[in-house]
Amino acid sequence: MTATDSVYQAPGELRTADQFVCWREETRGDDVTKVPYSVHGGRASSTNPKTWAPFDVAVSVSQRYDGVGFVLTEDDPYTGIDIDKCRNAETGEIAPWARDRLTYLRESHAAWTQQPQRSARDV
């Protein structure tokens, strides 16, 4: 997934919050994960707002990374759901057990991103 793809998934309401980071795919053991980076350089922290940025700033430097992400906080009215192993990495097919859940979320206007390992979805 490119930065452009992940940016496209950010609803307008989220774009007004200064809670964006960039991310890179990195391998940790047998897993590929999204590691958050500050637009100012170095790793970003999910608990340090000084490492986050406005949407437009994150997008402006996103070419140096694999994507743009939104940091959820306790004060947000948003919820994140991580659905692992719901998608066949080779065919792109969504597992039957996950299809109904994703359809419901899509109809609820939820935004999602695809995980680097291509077999998960973040909602």
Same domain for 4 and 62, yes or no, is yes
Q: What is the pLDDT of residue 81?
A: 81
Q: Sign (positive/negative) of CA torsion 12, 110, 40, 74?
A: positive
Q: What is the pLDDT of residue 123?
A: 47
Q: Residues with Cβ < 8 Å from 11, sequence gap 6 or more?
A: 109, 111
- Report the mean per-residue pLDDT for the chain: 82
pLDDT in tens, 84-119: 888 888 888 889 988 888 888 878 766 655 555 554
Binned average pLDDT, 10 residues per bin, the chain of 123 residues: 54 87 92 92 96 94 91 88 83 88 78 54 50
Domain count, the chain: 2
Give the global pTM.
0.73
Q: What is the pLDDT of residue 109?
A: 67
Q: Rounded CA gap, 115 and 97, in Å? A: 18
Coil, helix or strand at residue 4 = helix
Same domain for 45 and 63, yes or no, is yes
Same domain for 64 and 84, yes or no, is no
Same domain for 16 and 51, yes or no, is yes
Q: What is the pLDDT of residue 79?
A: 81
Q: What is the pLDDT of residue 11?
A: 73
Strands in the chain per DSSP E: 20-28, 31-37, 67-70, 82-83, 113-114, 121-122
Q: Rounded CA gap, 68 and 66, in Å? A: 7
Q: Which range of residues forms the domain containing residue 9?
A: 1-73
